[in-house]
Amino acid sequence: MTTVRIYVTYKQSVFDPQAESVLNAIHQLGHEEVKDLTVGKFFDLQVEGDQAAVENTVKEVAESLLVNFNIETYKFEVLEAK
């Protein structure tokens, strides 16, 4: 069983109002030392199969379901392969 983490973030060109408001809230708490913030989501998948099959599954699942390519981009890493 392989554990794969898929990170989904907004493309650089996309303005993220959530990140903006969280950063403002952080500054209101007095933490001006926090200069920038980005927000993302991640999916941890437990996948059966050899490495090549797992990578293929991850790409298909990410590209057909988890990522909106109009505004998002993704990366993935293998966390654990047992």
Q: How far is the CB of 18 from its own copies (least distance, A)?
A: 10
| Distance in angstroms (rounded) separating the CA atoms of residues 7 and 62 | 10
Q: Is 13 or 27 the residue whose CB approaches its own copies more closely?
A: 27
Q: Is 17 or 35 the residue whose CB approaches its own copies more closely?
A: 35
| Distance in angstroms (rounded) separating the CA atoms of residues 80 and 57 | 16
Tell me how far the alpha carbon of residue 51 is from its chain's centroid. 21
Which residues lie near its own copies (CB under 8 A)?
1, 7, 22, 25-26, 29, 31, 33-49, 53-54, 57, 60-61, 64-66
